[in-house]
Amino acid sequence: MRLIAAILALTLVAIGAGALAGLHLFAAAERVADAKKSASEPPIASSYAGSARLRKLSPIVTNLAAPANNWARVEASMVTESMSDEDAGILAAHISEDIVTYLRSSSVTQFEGSRGLQHLRDDLTERANIRSSGKVRELIIETLVIQ
What's the number of CA atoms in the CB half-sphere (13 Å) around residue 99?
30
What's the number of CA atoms in the CB half-sphere (13 Å) around residue 104?
9
If one counts every other C-beta atom within 10 angstroms of the C-beta of residue 120, the result is 21
- Give the orientation angle of helix 85-104 with respect to helix 113-131, to 10 degrees: 130
Question: DSSP letters along 82-95, please?
Answer: S--HHHHHHHHHHH
**Confidence at residue 38, expressed as pLDDT on a 0 to 100 scale:** 79
Q: How many Å from the N-terminal Cα to the C-terminal Cα in the chain?
A: 91
Residues of the chain with pLDDT under 50: none
**Confidence at residue 23, expressed as pLDDT on a 0 to 100 scale:** 93
Triad 109, 137, 63: Cα angle to 5°: 30
**Confidence at residue 50, expressed as pLDDT on a 0 to 100 scale:** 73
